[in-house]
Amino acid sequence: MSAIEFRDHDHAACMRSTMQAAEAQCTARGLRLTPVRRRALEILLAEHRALGAYDLLAHLSAEGLGTQPPVAYRALDFLVKAGLAHKIEALNAYVGCVQPGADHAPAFLICRGCRSVAEAETTPSQSRLGDAARAAGFRIERSVVEAEGLCPACQKDDI
C-alpha cells in the first residue's frame, strides 16, 4: 500500500480493476452508477490527479453529457458520498478513489508540481490530534489530512 500513484504501473489494469470494484460497490449497496456518474469516475481515474469540478465538466461537456455546473457537482457529490471519489480540500478539487469500498479515513499526498495525488490511510484516533480531541472532549466525525509537497518525479526536476 505504498502510493502506487507515484510509481510506474499498469494503469490501464489499475483503472479497470478500480472501475470493477466501484461497480461492485454500487450493485451491493443499491446505488445507481448512471452514465454521467460512471463517465465522471472514469475521467477522475484517468490520471492520479486532482481535477476541478469545472475541468471535469469540460470533459463531460465535450462528450455531450451535460453543459452546466450542476451536472459536474451532482456527479461529484454522488461519487464522494459513495466513497468512490474524494475531495481535496486544499485544492478545491476532486480525485478518484483507488480503493473504493474500503470504508476508510483517507489521507493524501499532493504534489504541487504535477498535481498528482496519492492516497494513504489515517488513524485519526491514534494520532496526536486524537489525543488532543479526547482531552478537550471533542467528538471527531470526519478528518481531513492532506500533505502538500513534491513527488519523487518532481523532486528531480528541482523546484
Partner DNA sequence: TCAGTCATGTTATATCATATCAATACGAAA
Partner DNA sequence: TTTCGTATTGATATGATATAACATGACTGA
- Under the criterion CB under 5 A, does residue 3 sit at the interface with Zn ion? no
User: Applying CB under 8 A, which of residues 13, 28, 62, 135 lies at the interface with its own copies?
Assistant: 135
Residue 28 CB, nearest approach to DNA (Å): 14
Whole-number Cα distances in Å, 102 to 20, 58, 64, 120, 129:
14, 30, 32, 12, 23
17 backbone dihedrals φ, ψ, rounded to 5° = -70, -35
- Residue 120 near which of DNA, Zn ion, its own copies, none (CB within 5-8 Å, type-dependent): its own copies
Kindly state the DSSP code that residue 8 receives in the 8-state scheme. Answer: -
User: Applying CB under 7 A, which of residues 17, 20, 27, 67 lies at the interface with DNA?
Assistant: 67
Residue 45 CB, nearest approach to its own copies (Å): 19
Stretch that binds its own copies, among 16-24, 60-68, 78-86, 119-127 (CB under 8 A): 119-127
- Give the other-Cβ count within 10 Å of 155's Cβ: 12
The Cα–Cα gap between 156 and 159 comes to: 8
